[in-house]
Structure formats: structure tokens, C-alpha cells
Amino acid sequence: MSSTASGKSGTWRNWGGNVAARPAREVTPASVDELTAAVRRAAEDGLTVKAVGTGHSFTSIAATDGVLIRPQLLTGIRKVDRDAMTVTVEAGTPLKRLNLALAREGLSLTNMGDIMEQTVSGAISTGTHGTGRESASIAAQVKGLELVTADGSVLTCSEKENPEVFAAARIGLGALGIVTAITFAVEPVFLLTAREEPMPLDRVLADFDELWAENEHFEFYWFPHTGSTNTKRNNRSAGPRRPVGQLAGWFEDEFLSNGVFQAAQWVGRAVPATIPAIAQVSSKALSARSYTDIPYKVFTSPRRVRFVEMEYAVPREAVTETLRELKAMVERSPLRISFPVEVRTAPADDITLSTASGRDSAYIAVHMVKGAPYQAYFTAAERILTAHEGRPHWGKIHTRDAEYFAGVYPRFGEFTALRDRLDPDRRFQNDYLRRVLGQ
């Protein structure tokens, strides 16, 4: 099964299957020059322009009826700088390829999210993140960017060069230009030991501050209709490397996490009344385990069960209260939720529209299997999350608009002013940006 978005019959669809677009034309540039030419030609024809990645966003952030730019030829590593400990990659490079290439060089990113199908530019532009006490988002590891702006010129930025663009463009939502290359900070490859174990939700919430403080990377999954969670703690390790055995890995990561889980989703969709019972079984299926490996093999895992997702960042100190409210809402509602709720953290960063901009954050993500009616659940969850000044992930389902964002992002006006300067004619506009950034 391909994780890329399909482009059959001129219709582009995202991975979750909930967004479709019919662009006027598609362009697959093989160089930055070809991309600038495509942007200039779009301007002559009065068309808007959007670059798509692998379609892993659940919002219509990449949808366009204008010119669709496919980045698959803009891939590969441009430069490894061992003195500066940076690597510069083409924007269309999938994270999977970047991780493999870095590992061959004995290097690694410091942190990453839990899937690696996305392109590097798609991942940073939407604020993709993992979990961490000192690090979380991929964009916070960016040291430099190259982008093609609305007039077809190529702009480079870093902390020293065009710093005001750098502050915003690391999570640029595709609104400031089309990213063509990214320079990441890297470090010598290291080992992580993962400890996965079930834990009662009450204990996780009571001990959340300690679990966060004592682990470099802490996250957990809560199974609605149960009082159970599965926790994951990743910490740096001196070794030796002890990967998950092939058979155990297949059984736990493929059979249980993808195969049985998919079957459980099908049963739950057909007979929603069975979901609480299935949840009780699911929450106990994964037993405790520990393994040690290089970062991308610990941080990421395959996700073959298609779903749609909403995720909000709340202030970290509000996470336990927010989760208690979410649990109470599910318990008193007729909702039947078959997908676990994922909880992660991030330290405050200095990126204008980062969900962790200026505040230590905790992420709460709710999911529904692809094709299930998610509106009632997501609407009820969103009411709770926004009451805590939550900031929605830019690539996941939400109903917020520019007025809301101006209230929860102190530097929102800084971003929109920069957009006015870089894209006065709204060459990179689409319906999503019209909603979240305003006119």
C-alpha cells in the first residue's frame, strides 16, 4: 500500500482520504530553476500555486485548483557539513530517505515524529513533531531554508540571514513561498532505549510531571472506555544495541498494531456497541517490552491503518485537567471510540506559528478510523481543547480561524505582516489559508 497521495484522473487526494482537489495543472520540477519558472508562469496565467508532499495532512492545507507542484524530483542530500554539524537536503526528500542517509553517514536528527513517510518540507511546514523534554518539533532543528517566493526569486534565510523570514518560514504553512531546501542540525548517531509498558491512566495523570521530568521522551496512549494506557519512554543509552527481534517485531508492530488493530476497527465500525469490549482487549494486548536501537528505529513505526486525526497543543500544566475532561466527556456521551488518544510534549520554541511557540506544551491527539463519522467526537473534543487555549496542529482537522489564532498566538500579526510583504498578490493562497490567516 502506497503512503503517497494518489493523482488518478487529475484528482489529488490526501492520505486520510478526506481531502480531494482538482488542480488546473500539475508540475513536477526537476530543479529550483524549473520551479521558479513554474511560479512565474502561474502568475502570468493568474493561477495560484501549491506544493504538495505525501498528503499526510488531514486539512486542505495543500489543496489547490491552480498549479499543483509535486516535489518528488527535488530529493536527495545536497551537502553534509561536519564542522557545522548540519545537513542540507532537497525539500521533496522523504524523512525515511533522510534518516537512512544520515545513518549511513553516522549521523541523526535529535528528535522526530512517529511516522517518516512525509517529505521534509511538508513535515516542517505543518509543524510535525515527536515528544520530548528538551526537543520535539522537526522545524526547531532547522538551521537554514531556501524558498522560492511569489515573484519567482530564491530567498535563503537563517538566524543571521533574513532572520525575520527564518522565524516564520520554519513553520510557514506554505503561505510564504515554496521551500526548496532545508538545512538541519544533526548530531553523531546515538542509541535510545525504549521502555513500553501498560500503566493505569490514573497513575499516569497523578505522576505526569515526574514521568515528563525523568525521561527525555515520554508519551502515552489512552484507550477510551478503559482506565488503561500504554506508556513509552525513550532515553539515550550507552548500549549495546538490542533491537526488537524480527518475529517479535512483526507480531507486535505489524500483527497487533496494524493487522489485529485494523480488524478491530472494522468490527467496531460495523457494530459500534462492541467497541468498549474491544478497547478493553486492545489495551491489554500490548505487553511491556524494552529495546535499544538507533533513533529512527525507536521513534518511528509503520502506520498502515488509515485514520483521520485532530491534535491540539495545550499549555503543559493544563494537560492532566484537559485529559480528565476528555475522559468524562466520552463516558457521559453515546460516543464509541475505537482509536487510542495520544499524548506527547514539547518545550517552548521561538518559531512564530509553532504550536509550542513561547510555551511549554502538551499535545493531545484524537483519532477515528478512515471513513468513520468523526464530527461528533472531534467537535466535543475541540470544545474542551479550545477552552484551554489549545493550538491545533496545522496539518490536522480543526475548525479554528484567523480570529481565534490571533488570540492564542502572540506573534500572529508578525506572520501575517511578513506574508503581506512576501506574497502581496496571494499567489500561494488557498481556502485553508484564507480561513486560518485571514484575507
Task: Give 156-178 pLDDT, tens digit per residue.
Answer: 999 999 999 999 999 999 999 99
What's the mean pLDDT in 367-387? 94
Question: Tens digit of pLDDT for each residue in 255-288?
Answer: 556 566 666 666 667 677 777 776 777 666 667 8
pLDDT at res. 157: 98
Residue 423 has pLDDT above 90, yes or no: yes
Scan for cell 467496531, then name that residue. 268
Name which residue leads in pLDDT, 390 or 283.
390
- Residue 54 to residue 391: CA distance in whole angstroms: 23
- Residue 324 to residue 138: CA distance in whole angstroms: 29
pLDDT at res. 34: 97
pLDDT at res. 254: 59
pLDDT averaged over every residue in the chain: 91
- Percent pLDDT > 70 in the chain is 90
Instruction: Give the cell for residue 363.
Output: 499535545
Question: Tens digit of pLDDT for each residue in 176-197?
Answer: 999 999 999 999 999 999 999 9
Backbone angles phi, psi at 41, to 5 degrees: -65, -35
What's the mean pLDDT in 358-374? 93
- Residue 418 to residue 411: CA distance in whole angstroms: 11
pLDDT at res. 419: 98
pLDDT at res. 307: 86
pLDDT at res. 245: 73
pLDDT at res. 267: 67
pLDDT class of 253 with cuts at 50, 70, 90: low
Task: Name residue 312's beta-bridge partners.
Answer: 364, 392
Residue type for position 63: A
- Residue 133 to residue 346: CA distance in whole angstroms: 6
What's the mean pLDDT in 218-241? 94
- Could you tell me the pTM of the whole model? 0.92
Q: How far is CA 432 from CA 71, 409, 429, in A?
A: 20, 18, 8
pLDDT at res. 255: 55
pLDDT class of 1 with cuts at 50, 70, 90: very low
Question: Tens digit of pLDDT for each residue in 194-212?
Answer: 999 999 999 999 999 999 9
- Segment among 326-330, 334-338, 412-416 with least mean pLDDT: 334-338
Q: How far is CA 327 from CA 53, 64, 255, 320, 341, in A?
A: 34, 37, 28, 11, 10
Residue 48 has pLDDT above 50, yes or no: yes
- Residue 117 to residue 370: CA distance in whole angstroms: 18
3-state secondary structure 397-439: CCCCCHHHHHHHCCCHHHHHHHHHHHCCCCCCCCHHHHHHHCC
pLDDT at res. 321: 98
Q: How many angstroms from the chain centroid is the CA of residue 390?
A: 16
pLDDT at res. 305: 76
pLDDT at res. 303: 74
CA dihedral (347, 133, 394, 87) positive or negative = positive
Structure letter (DSSP) for residue 5: P
- Residue 297 to residue 295: CA distance in whole angstroms: 5
What residues have CB less than 8 Å from 8, skipping those under 6 apart?
none
pLDDT at res. 276: 73
Q: Counting beta carbons within 10 angstroms of the beta carbon of residue 268, is it exposed (0 to 12), middle (13 to 18) or buried (19 or more)?
A: buried
Give the residue among 267, 66, 84 at the shortest CA–CA distance from 159.
84
Instruction: Give the cell for residue 216.
Output: 527525555
pLDDT at res. 288: 85
Residue 304 has pLDDT above 80, yes or no: no
Count of alpha carbons within 13 angstroms of residue 412, beta-carbon side: 15
